[in-house]
Amino acid sequence: MMRDPGTARTMASSTARQIPSQPRSLSTLLKGDEGAITVMFALCATLMIGSMCTAIDTIHYEMTQTRVQMALDVATLSSGVDLLHYNTTTGTSLTQWQADARAYYNANMPSGYMDFSMPDAQFSATVSGTPSAGQTIKLSATGSAPLLAPIIFGTGTANNGSGSGSGSNSQSPDTVTIAASNTALRLPQSLLELVLVLDNTTSMADYASSDKTQGTKIQGVRAAASNLVTNILGVQNNNSYVGLVPFTTMVNVGGSLLPSGSWMTPNFTYNSNNVWMTAHSGVTGSGWGGCAVEPRDAGSNMYPKAYAPKDVPGFTPFFYNVPSAGFTVKTYPTTKTGSINCSGAPSVNTVTGVPLTLQTNGSATTCSVGTGTGITAAWAQAASTTSNPNPSTKIYDQNGNINGTGSPCSIAPVKFLTKDASSLTTAIGNMQAAGSTIIPTGLLWGWRMLSSDWSNNVSNGNGWVSSDSTLPRPEITQGLQRVAIVLTDGENDPGSPNGIMPPPSFNGLTGVGSSVIKAPTVTGSNGSPLTAGSAASVTDINSFQLGVCTAMKNSGITIYAITFGSDASSAVAQQAMQSCASPGDYYHAPTNATLNAIFEEIAGNLGVLRLTQ
């Protein structure tokens, strides 16, 4: 079929008009359907992008806020621990501590994180209070991060970083402020068992330094220890217990451990007749004075152990001057003027199981009465004493010091763990300076005061005398901190190995009449087991001391070790105590004032940190 030529021309003309020869203007475009769609798309896209930027801003805000708070929490706890390194929180110490706090924050807040920035002026760290009563630590940080939403919305809508607007007439900020703060309370340890192992030897009567206005060393240690007790036990609602172990070559546990308990064996090989455990009327110095000898096995070996009351062999009572075969007392008649008549016939009496006394009225030198019997060659002089009806006598204690009370164990007794600050400070005040030094003896008894095997609950009533049978608490008690503070004003000094009663042969470490240290589990200075050591050798005692300290730390006890005064300035003394201490817990106190500051610092070290906000 043929088409009409006119119709074909009309259709071609119509088609040609649908294809514009030039781009349309904006007004033309907006008048068309395509323009309306384009405008609607642009508006929707802007809203969508703006909403997406707002959502991103919200996410960035939450992530940055969380990271800042986390970094600040870590910085607060870390800076609280950091307080242990500062004696004061003022002046340059405060400035350095604040710098440390910012460094802890920086270490946990990556630089440029989410483009967050914080000038130093907007970081704050403050501390108030005292270590002993509690310290409040406050940290705060304020910074800013850029926003994406204002790029899209311009100034028409404000945004605080959380996605909410505040009106069409407000300005939209380019950045969002992010702030964080917290507070930590650093309190004294609430589950604490602390024992003070304190040197009571003769040199403690000397001055710590040339400044004599501060008093003697024994005065300084009494004051510092009493202040520490007040700082710890003076905190309300505390659950802390403090004990005291004075030491020389001996430790007196009389009154805190019963002589009838299974921990001690009164039947010992040295004296087949035993000894009088209770005082006898008219016999000066008789009865057990409160000191004990370390256990030894069948091979005479000793070990750096806390032992337990149930262990065999047990401890034996210490009697410094009871000859195993007894001794003879010869009483000479006196003249009318009261002098001794050495030519007269003496009355003779053999005494066993009681301590020997030395007269000071000259009778021992004016009358030759033979040598008698003793347990060592040195006893020959002592056993040849004489007596008259009213002799002037002196009793010598385990260290060769004169003891006017007649007790064979003159050192101030221990005070078992207690919350009673008054009774504890009284015990501290009773400490006197006399005797030689064997530090591991004090450490061993300090360890036993922290060992649950010595509680009455575990030992069936044979442990420490206490109204609380659960003390010392089981080592697995949650939150329990077991701490020993050991102080000495010099190195181990057992005294001269010569004389009537040489201290190395008469102490709680080696026993009665023996100075041998056989400790196969302890490494000596030559790298071999200490199987032929001597209590007269400072090197051997130091080796045994290190063995005790290592065993204590392995059992979970924290040891603070302090050398005190100019006498403790030697490298040997300081190295022995530094090796004994837990890492970072060794101190040297050259003066009484420094010692008091160290005890206050340790009181602060025994605290815990708690975030309260």
If one compares 62 and 406, the residue with the highest pLDDT of the two is 62
- CA atoms of 142 and 162, how far apart (whole Å): 17
Sign of CA dihedral 446, 449, 450, 454: positive
The mean predicted confidence, pLDDT, of the chain is: 79
Integer angstrom CA distances of residue 314 from 263, 301, 302, 308, 446 = 6, 13, 12, 8, 18
How much of the chain exceeds pLDDT 90, in percent? Answer: 44
Collapsed DSSP state (helix, strand, coil) of residue 316 = strand
Cα separation of 363 and 342, whole Å? 9
Assess whether pLDDT exceeds 70 at residue 40.
Answer: no
Under the banding of pLDDT at 50, 70 and 90, the label for residue 326 is: low
Summarize the confidence of residues 497-519 as an average pLDDT: 80
Q: Which residue has the higher pLDDT, 410 or 543?
A: 543
Query: Average of pLDDT values for 309-326?
Result: 76
> What tokens appear for 163 in the block?
């996605």
Say how far apart CA 390 and CA 462 lie, in whole Å: 41
Q: Report the alpha-carbon distance of residue 109 to residue 68 in Å, rounded.
A: 7
Angstrom distance (rounded) from CA 140 to CA 179? 7
pLDDT(355) > 90: no
What is the CB neighbour count within 10 angstroms for residue 168? Answer: 9
What are the structural domain ranges in the chain? 33-186, 192-272+289-318+408-608, 321-396
Residues with Cβ within 8 Å of residue 457, at least 6 apart in sequence: 469, 470
pLDDT in tens, 358-386: 433 333 333 433 332 222 222 222 333 33
Q: Residue 569: its pLDDT value, please?
A: 83
Residue 145 has pLDDT above 70, yes or no: yes
**What is the CATH architecture of 192-272+289-318+408-608?**
3-Layer(aba) Sandwich (3.40)
List the single range of 38-52, 202-216, 293-307, 400-414 with lowest mean pLDDT: 400-414
* pLDDT top residue among 601 and 365: 601
Helices and strands, number each (H, E), in the chain: 14, 21
CA geometry: angle at 17 spanning 16 and 18, to 5°? 90
Residue 249 has pLDDT above 80, yes or no: yes
Residue type, 364: A
Q: Both tokens of residue 170? A: 């407000």
**What are the tens digits of pLDDT across the range 538-568?**
999 999 999 999 999 999 999 999 999 988 8
pLDDT band at residue 398, thresholds of 50, 70 and 90?
Answer: very low
Which of 426-440, 444-458, 490-504 has the lowest average pLDDT? 490-504
**Cα 362-365-368 angle, rounded to 5 deg:** 130
Of 387-401, 442-456, 594-608, the least confident: 387-401
Residue 103 predicted with pLDDT over 60: yes
Q: Per-residue pLDDT for 59 more than 80?
A: yes
Question: Whole-model pTM?
Answer: 0.67
User: 322 pLDDT band (50/70/90 cuts)?
Assistant: low
Please, what is the angle between helix 91-108 and helix 33-82, to 10°?
140
Neighbour count for residue 11 (Cβ, 10 Å): 10
pLDDT of residue 47: 66
* pLDDT of 253: 96
Of residues 90 and 374, more confidently modeled: 90
User: How many residues in the chain?
Assistant: 613
